[in-house]
């Protein structure tokens, strides 16, 4: 008789970006809107997991919800490049198989995370960029939008402030020295999700518009497997947010898995080391969320806050914004 493996309690964790997010930096209405959006994203992924769906489908559901919400720097509401465009990056990884997919610099795919998933499942490649990625997404029947779909007035105002000061937003020193940068300018706003499904499989996904005022086809860590996203059933699933250049210099997401695998660190110790020591040592700030196959969750950051949340089984989603 076939042995049916015991099902686990599924777990989902998400982030909506790290940054200078202090109590009092937002109106109560805006804070409510962020909390509601995080809960809605958790519920979307939870729904998939409680129906027996895969970790991969759960992270897609959660990230699509955040991409569709204009509050976050991914999909609609993404930040602008120096020439006033939205160029989006996303990646996904399946911890069961190490299959991975990513897109970078796309401008008309409504949900870049779906395109990353299509690259993972329906191409021979791991990453497609720009017009090639867009043609591939169209071929796969993914929703296409006019670039104006991504525009929001708040992000345009951020670009104008950054242009006026010649500032790459969220360059840690630049932002800190800038007199006119508002607290909204000091938030990264990238979104990500990590999930453990009932079958014990992990997955991770990350999606972003990058950093405001970015130039010349700049690509950050979010679509780079190992830098912004990593998943391997043997260690953990990880998604990051912060200054991409710093995360790329230390392969931040993979570094968490390496600390677990080669140094024997438990999940939280590994995440804490990378988020609070390794990334800052590489001249950036930000945060990481991670989940291991035992269902442990860690969410650590070197900024003052990070939009984040966790849902276990069918339990009430828990969300947080500020430091502990």
Q: Which positions are catalytic?
A: 190
Q: Which is nearer to ligand ASP, 13 or 211 (CB)?
A: 211
Burial of 278 (0-12, 13-18, 19+ CB in 10 A): buried
Query: Among residue numbers 188 through 247, which ones bind ligand ASP (CB under 6 A)?
Result: 188-190, 208, 210-211, 220-222, 228, 241-244
DSSP H or E segment with residue 35: helix 28-50
- Only one of the segments 59-67, 126-134, 187-195, 275-283 lies at the binding site for ligand ASP (rule: CB under 6 A); that segment is 187-195
Phi (first) and psi of residue 191, to 5 degrees = -120, 155
Question: Which CA distances in Å does 76 have to 133, 191, 211, 224, 323?
Answer: 18, 12, 14, 21, 27
Q: Is 294 helix (H, G, I), strand (E, B) or coil?
A: coil
Residue 282 CB, nearest distance to ligand ASP (Å)?
12
Residues 290-309: x where in contact with ligand ASP by CB under 6 A, - otherwise, as a string: --------------------
Residues in region 3-42 near ligand ASP by CB under 6 A: 17
Tell which phi-psi region holds residue 17, choosing left (phi > 0), alpha (psi between -120 and 50) or beta.
left
The site that binds ligand ASP (CB under 6 A) totals a number of residues, namely 16
The helix or strand, by DSSP H or E, that contains position 157, with its residue range, turns out to be helix 153-165
CB of 127 to ligand ASP, least distance (A): 15
The sheet carrying 305-312 orders its strands as: 127-129, 100-106, 88-94, 202-208, 191-196, 11-19, 305-312, 318-322
Our CB check for ligand ASP shows the closer of 110 and 187 to be: 187
Task: Using CA atoms of 149, 155, 160, 164 in order, give the dihedral in degrees to the nearest 10.
Answer: -140
Determine if 86 is a binding residue for ligand ASP (CB under 6 A).
no
At closest approach, how far in Å is the CB of 64 from ligand ASP? 18
Compare residues 57 and 89 and give the one whose CB is closer to ligand ASP. 89
Question: Whole-number minimum distance, CB 121 to ligand ASP, in Å?
Answer: 24
Question: 16 vs 200, which CB is nearer to ligand ASP?
Answer: 16
When the beta carbons of 81 and 178 are compared against ligand ASP, the nearer one is 81
Q: Candidates 185-193, 195-203, 231-239, 292-300 — which segment interacts with ligand ASP by CB under 6 A?
A: 185-193
List alpha helices for 84-148, DSSP H. Answer: 112-122, 130-139
**CB-CB neighbours of 121 under 10 Å:** 13
At closest approach, how far in Å is the CB of 62 from ligand ASP?
16
Q: Specify whether the CB–CB gap between 112 and 245 falls below 8 A.
A: no
What does the binding site for ligand ASP look like in residue numbers (CB under 6 A)? 17, 73, 188-190, 208, 210-211, 220-222, 228, 241-244
């Amino acid at each position: 008789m076939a042995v049916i493996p015991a099902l686990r309690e599924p777990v989902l964790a998400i982030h909506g970006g790290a940054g200078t997010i202090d109590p009092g930096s937002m109106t109560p209405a805006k804070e409510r809107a962020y909390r509601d959006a995080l809960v809605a994203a958790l519920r979307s992924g939870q729904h998939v997991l409680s129906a027996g769906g895969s970790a991969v489908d759960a992270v897609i559901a959660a990230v699509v919800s955040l991409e569709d919400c204009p509050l976050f720097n991914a999909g609609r509401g993404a930040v602008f490049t120096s020439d006033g465009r939205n160029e989006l990056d996303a990646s996904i990884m399946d911890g069961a198989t190490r299959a991975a997919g990513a897109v970078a610099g796309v401008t008309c795919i409504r949900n870049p995370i779906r395109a990353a998933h299509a690259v993972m499942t329906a191409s021979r490649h791991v990453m497609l960029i720009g017009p090639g990625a867009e043609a591939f997404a169209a071929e796969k029947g993914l929703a296409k939008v006019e670039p104006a779909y991504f525009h929001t007035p708040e992000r345009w105002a951020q670009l104008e402030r950054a242009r006026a000061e010649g500032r790459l937003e969220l360059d840690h020193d630049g932002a800190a020295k800038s007199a006119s940068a508002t607290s909204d300018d000091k938030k990264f706003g990238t979104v990500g999700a990590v999930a453990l499904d009932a079958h014990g499989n992990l997955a991770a996904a990350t999606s972003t518009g990058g950093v405001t005022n970015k130039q010349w086809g700049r690509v950050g860590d979010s679509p780079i497997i190992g830098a912004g996203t990593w998943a391997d059933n043997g260690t953990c699933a990880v998604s990051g947010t912060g200054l991409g250049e710093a995360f790329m210099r230390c392969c931040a997401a993979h570094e968490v898995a390496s600390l677990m695998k080669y140094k024997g660190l438990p999940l939280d110790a590994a995440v804490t080391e990378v988020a609070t020591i390794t990334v800052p040592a590489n001249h950036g700030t930000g945060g990481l969320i991670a989940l291991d196959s035992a269902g442990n969750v860690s969410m650590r950051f070197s900024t003052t806050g990070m939009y984040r949340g966790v849902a276990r089984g069918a339990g009430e989603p828990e969300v947080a914004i500020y430091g502990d």
